[in-house]
Amino acid sequence: MRFHHAKKLKGFLEANPTLEIRYLPAYSPDLNPVERVWWYMRKSITHNRYLSSIKERIAKSWQLMSTTLKPNETLKKLGF
């Protein structure tokens, strides 16, 4: 699905000429910063760790994501 090719978006971009959309290839995890976040999240929460329930996994995910509310060294390493 091509979300960013909508007619409404075209008008918005014309009204805001300082904005520019750069399209990524269909599969480009190295170019997509959120992929680094998912990698770090999986590495920190699930790799070589036993979680007894989905509730525990959700709690760990929220705990990790709460550390991203303020700029810190981990975010800098991930490219944010």
For 13-61, the pLDDT digits (tens) are: 889 999 887 777 777 777 777 788 888 888 888 888 888 899 998 998 8
Does the pTM surpass 0.75? The reply is no
Tally of domains in the chain: 1
Q: Determine the pLDDT at residue 3.
A: 57
In order, the DSSP letters of 13-52 are HHH-TT----PPPSS-TTT-HHHHHHHHHHHHHTTT---S
Q: Would you state the pLDDT for residue 18? A: 93
pLDDT of the residue at 55: 93
**What pLDDT score does 29 carry?**
75
- Report the C-alpha gap between 19 and 38 in whole angstroms: 27
Say if residue 7's pLDDT is above 80.
Answer: no
Cβ(79)–Cβ(33) under 8 Å?
Answer: yes
Range of the domain at 12: 3-78
Task: Tell me which DSSP letter residue 61 carries.
Answer: H
